[in-house]
Each structure stands twice: as structure tokens, then as C-alpha cells.
Amino acid sequence: MPEALRRVGEVILGDPAEAARSTIIALAERAGSSPATVTRFCRAFGFSGYAELRVALATETGRAAQAGWGAGVGHEIGPDDPLDAAIEVMAAADTRLIQDTAAQLDLDVVARVADAIVAAPRVLLVGVSTSGNVATMLEGRLRRIGIPGWSAGDAHVALSEAALLKTGDVAIGISHRGRTREVMESLAEAGSHGALTVAVTSFARSPLAELAELVLTTASRETTFRLGGLAAVHSQLFVLDAVYVAVAQRTYERTNEAFERTISAVESHRVERG
């Protein structure tokens, strides 16, 4: 190509995404040419003008990014890997994890669990270790919108709470592998008193799933240093967040009122912007 057009092409090839975001003047300046030269470059490749070229560049760079987003899935993180590479693996694994969980989520079960929670006098969430933290987070969200929820990670506390449940109450057991004894015993105790039992687990045929009336399965994608339950946290949170959103939809007016009242209650503890 002529020198002036070649410089334009080199700038675009050097960073297509940036070229797609640039104005014709900015691109011309980086290429050491003029807007008229950029326009001639566009027409040389069959585009009516720079606007059409930008659309084409944005489309192609978007496709490239979409095709490469999961490049880190399945890769191991080594002790000498640079941090940006480790973060890329983590981001790819977590993104695919959420997509897999959403794809396999049984919406009918989510709806049934949400309906039961809305009508329940008491909701008990049981989880141990990392799953216990997840249970506590859902408890906080439910209480924020006026749903009577309790979480328990200690075996004695969980069993005691489960023994007090009745028909109409809901007990949710959270366990990645579905083999945590404390969670299984608590769900069995709750079920024996008539409470609806729900399992949140990555293994649909686990002992916990066999005990529960309803099962919500989560995906799990392990990477180095993030094994088992640690790898399942995001999918557990996603599933329970889906339940929470379904509950909030069913209690829309009450939920909005609860938000307004709680926001007002804590407003005095927020620091004003400087």
C-alpha cells in the first residue's frame, strides 16, 4: 500500500480494539496522517467510511474476546506463574462455573423453594465451614427483607434448631459434596418434624440429596489452591441468590418497604462524601 495508507493499517493492526474506540481524528494523528487518508484507507477495503470500519472492528474484536474468554479454564496455577495469568485462570473458571450452574438450575425447584420460604414461619440454613459462610449470607439477605431466617454451623445448635421446626417451616442444607454429617443429621431432624427439606449440593446423588425433598445442584470447577468447597462457593451463592430474588419478587411491596426502612435506619452511620 502507499506509505500513508500503510501507516493507518499498522496502527489499526497494532490495537484493533483501541482503533474501534477512536475518532477518525485521533486515529489519523496516531498514524501521522490526515482524516482524509483514513477515509481513503476505509474505501480501499470496501467500507463506505470510517464509521462502518469502526463497527466492523468492534464486531471482530468482540468475537475474539468471546472466543478467548475461557482460555484459562482447566489450566493449573503454578507457584511461579505471574499474578495476571493466575487471575485469568480464576476469572475464566468462575465465569464458566456460573454459566454451568445457571444452565443446570431447575427453575421449578427454585420456584417451589421460594414459595415455601415466603409462607414459612421459620427458615433454617445449615452449613459447615465455607458452606456455613454461604448460609450466613443468605440468612442476612432474608432477614433484610423481613423473612425469619436462621443459620447454624455448629452441630448442636443446628440440631437444636432443626428439632424446633414444624410443618410449614423450611430447612436448607448446604454441602458441596453432600456428605457433611452435621448437615445431613440436621436436615433429617428437620424433616422428621414435618419441615420442607432442601439440599444445595454439587452432587445430585449424594447422601444429602437423598435425604432432601427438593434438590438444587451447583456446578464446581476446581483450580489450584481452590479445591472442593472453596471452588463451589460462587455456584452456591448464585443458586441461593436465585432463590432470594424469587422470594423478593413474591414479596415485592414488603421487600421495598423493608429496604426503605433499613436504609433509613443505618443512614446516620454513613460518612458523607468529602
pLDDT along the chain (274 residues), means of 10: 90 87 87 91 88 79 51 61 81 80 90 97 94 92 93 94 97 93 94 96 90 90 53 86 95 93 87 72
Q: What distance in Å separates the CA atoms of residue 213 and residue 192, rounded to the nearest whole number?
A: 12
Q: What distance in Å separates the CA atoms of residue 117 and residue 169, rounded to the nearest whole number?
A: 8
pLDDT at residue number 231: 63
| Architecture in CATH for domain 88-265 | 3-Layer(aba) Sandwich (3.40)
Residue identified by cell 471482530 is: 60
Residue identified by cell 422428621 is: 192
Note the Cα 174 to chain centre separation in Å: 17
Burial of 176 (C-beta count, 10 Å sphere; 0-12/13-18/19+): buried
pLDDT at residue number 70: 46
Residues of the chain with CATH 3.40.50.10490: 88-265
pLDDT at residue number 266: 87
Q: What is the DSSP letter of 76?
A: P
> Checking phi first, is residue 60 left (phi over 0); if not, alpha (psi -120 to 50) or beta?
alpha
**Is residue 234 within 8 Å of residue 97, measured between CB atoms?**
yes
Planar angle of CA 168, 172, 175, nearest 5 degrees: 165
Q: What distance in Å separates the CA atoms of residue 118 and residue 170, rounded to the nearest whole number?
A: 10
Residues sharing a CB contact under 8 Å with residue 231, sequence separation 6 or more, in sequence order: 93, 97, 176, 220, 221, 222, 223
β-strand pairing of 149-152 with 214-217: unpaired
pTM value > 0.75: no
pLDDT at residue number 71: 47
**Is residue 89 within 8 Å of residue 83, measured between CB atoms?**
no
E strand spans, the chain: 123-127, 149-152, 170-174, 196-201, 214-217
Q: What distance in Å separates the CA atoms of residue 209 and residue 204, rounded to the nearest whole number?
A: 6
3-68 CATH: 1.10.10.10
Q: Count other Cβ atoms within 10 Å, centred on residue 101.
A: 24
Residues of the chain with CATH 1.10.10.10: 3-68
